[in-house]
A and B are shown apart, each in its own frame.
Chain A
Amino acid sequence: EVQLLESGGGLVQPGGSLRLSCAASGFTFNDYAMSWVRQAPGMGLEWVAAITGSGGDTYHADSVKGRFTISRDNSDNRLYLQMYSLRVEDTAIYYCVKGSSSSRPYYLHYWGQGTQVTVSS
């Protein structure tokens, strides 16, 4: 059974930093691309970042480019999202999502339950 468990969310001041983590189990981690998708309060879904199975290629939405970095540790079956220069508009639930294959194109197959990030002074 695929399990994705996010952690690392919390309350942070504008301009602050946070590192999200996602522990994956139930599948061969390095065989699949992974993504982060967020959802602001009462809003729709926004793709944030993605990384290929090998970790060799990464992609970031324009809204977070230069501030967020996706990475993975295939030896530990973990996905990360390092977030710097956080803004109020980054407040959202952040979901860790398993892709359907190692590289594009892939659909968002399995979703974790999410971790809440709140940026506020």
Chain B
Amino acid sequence: ENVLTQSPGTLSLSPGERATLSCRASQSVTRNYLAWFQQKPGQAPRLLIYGASNRATGIADRFSGSGSGTDFTLTITRLEPEDFAMYYCQDYGSSRTFGQGTKVEIK
């Protein structure tokens, strides 16, 4: 099983600031099959990024993914009020495991 560790657990930022979320895998993610999801309270998760760096349809360009192998990053360049939420990464290439999540909260 590929264990995904997300950091930090909580990120306290103000609207307009840049958010950098990390996802580190215990084993290399096959062909960078790494996805990021956003989840707001009471809602289902929503796909943001797949293949480590490809934005899903309809996702704003302030969201970007990068990384390869075992280290991946989700960056939100300028936080909008609607971006404060939980974020999860997932290895969909092998073990299908999720990270434990990073909460982006308003400072």
Contact = CB atoms under 8 A, between A and B. Distances in A.
The binding surface of chain B is classed by DSSP as loop
A45 B93 CA distance: 17
Contacts of A110: 47
A107 B33 contact: yes
Interface stretch (A13-21, A72-80, A82-90, A111-119): A111-119
Q: Tell which of B30, B96, B100 has the most Cβ of chain A within 10 Å.
A: B96
Given A44-B98, A45-B45, A111-B46, A105 B37 contact: no
B90 interface: yes
Contacts of A112: 44
A44 B100 contact: yes
Interface residues of B, number: 24
Interface of A: 37, 44-47, 50, 61, 95, 100, 104-114
24 contacts: A44-B98, A44-B100, A44-B101, A45-B90, A45-B98, A45-B101, A47-B90, A47-B96, A47-B97, A47-B98, A95-B45, A105-B30, A105-B93, A106-B92, A107-B35, A107-B47, A107-B50, A107-B51, A108-B37, A108-B90, A111-B44, A111-B47, A113-B43, A114-B44
Given A44-B98, A45-B88, A105-B30, 7 more contacts: A45-B45, A50-B96, A105-B93, A107-B90, A107-B92, A108-B90, A113-B43
